Amino acid sequence: MQFKDIVGQTAIANRLTEIIDQGRVSHAQMFLGDTASGSLALAIAYAQYLSCTNRQHFDNGGQATDNVALRADSCGQCPSCRKFQQLSHPDLHLYFPNAAIEKMKNASNVSSADYQGEFREFLLKHNQTGSVELWYQHLDIEKKQAIIRDSDANDMVRALSLTSYEGNYKMVVIWMAEKMNGTMANKILKTLEEPNPQTLILLVVENSERMLSTIISRTQVVRVPDRKGAARFVGEDFPQLYVTWMRQLFKLNMYTLSQWVDAMHARTREQQKQFLYFAQDALRQCFLRNNAGLPLNMDFGDEKFNLSFPTMITANNIEKLNDAFDQAIFAVERNAYAKMLFMELSFRISKALKKR
């Protein structure tokens, strides 16, 4: 991946190449932003530029992708760049959410190593901007809880202990690092505290709230802004699903609410979790609309609801509502029974909304 191929993030690319050119490479960096906006692509382009043996500098400004001239880029032609273009560089180690599939004989020890081929294929197909939902679909693990696990941690420690194949940096890219389990997170923390020489660890994170604060404090954070037109995963029916749910919570008709809960139960865990994130964000935006006069940056597809519902979210209930969603998301990640989870969450939300 070259910086010139990443649309809309040239300003960040220029800062990254300048850091490398000035010899100020931090051993641990966090690329914080949506994958669709280029966070993963930027991390890999950064690693490729660092390893390139014939870096290109544009005195008069190179290719501009967002009205900003590119100051430098990897050459795309040297042996290192050609390996990066296929994601096959021997010093590049990729880790990502994974889960066992039915054909596996030893499912208990599944790791990113088992899916390197599939992951490279997925990244190349989607130009390194595909969502985690698309990755689950690609691997056919939509109904499983994918994480970055103990076996990944052991593999990473082993990889970083070896000598670099090409005499440069040993590079680790962890995509969706917020999905690391406790063992993996602790191994990363220890590695960040006691890094080996010529080691580069790049964490690609979409939700920093789900990362250990001790990990964040030990990384240099690169904030990747949302790119206009970036295709983040939001279910097409999420707005209508949300409106229907909120209206049912005022009536509390158990028959229709049970039907809604059954429909949510039938969805994959990742879809359930993405919907909860969507609903939680909707409440926050409604609160800001009602209490700070900020514009509502989402359309629920129902003009009456757009105008009336934000008034229900006040300083008296936003904290309880936010806590309820945090706990529900936590429960989904730990394979809670969806019917019970969504029914209990519905009662909590209904109670909070009526105490505005």
CA dihedral 98, 95, 184, 199 (to 10 degrees): 180
pLDDT of residue 107: 57
Phi, psi of 317 (to 5 degrees): -130, -10
pLDDT of residue 232: 47
Residues 6+ apart with CB under 8 A from 329: 273, 276, 277, 280
Alpha-helix runs per DSSP H in the chain: 10-21, 39-51, 79-85, 116-125, 132-139, 150-161, 182-193, 213-216, 238-251, 254-265, 269-292, 303-308, 318-333, 338-353
Q: Which residues of the chain have pLDDT under 50?
A: 64, 229-233
27-38 pLDDT, tens digit each: 999 999 989 889
CATH homologous superfamily of 3-223 equals P-loop containing nucleotide triphosphate hydrolases (3.40.50.300)
Residues 6+ apart with CB under 8 A from 291: 314, 315
Token pair 């609309």 in the structure block, residue: 289
What distance, in Å, lies between the first and last C-alpha atoms of the chain? 50
- 40-53 per-residue burial string, b: 16 or more CB within 10 A, e: under 16: bbbbbbbbbbbbbe
**Structural domain spans, the chain:** 3-223, 238-353
119-177 pLDDT, tens digit each: 999 999 998 988 888 898 888 887 777 889 888 988 988 888 888 888 788 999 999 99
pLDDT of residue 93: 95
Token pair 């430098």 in the structure block, residue: 72
Structure tokens at 217: 């404090």
Token pair 């917020």 in the structure block, residue: 178
pTM for the model stands at 0.68
Secondary structure (3-state) at 323 = helix
Structure tokens at 74: 């990897």
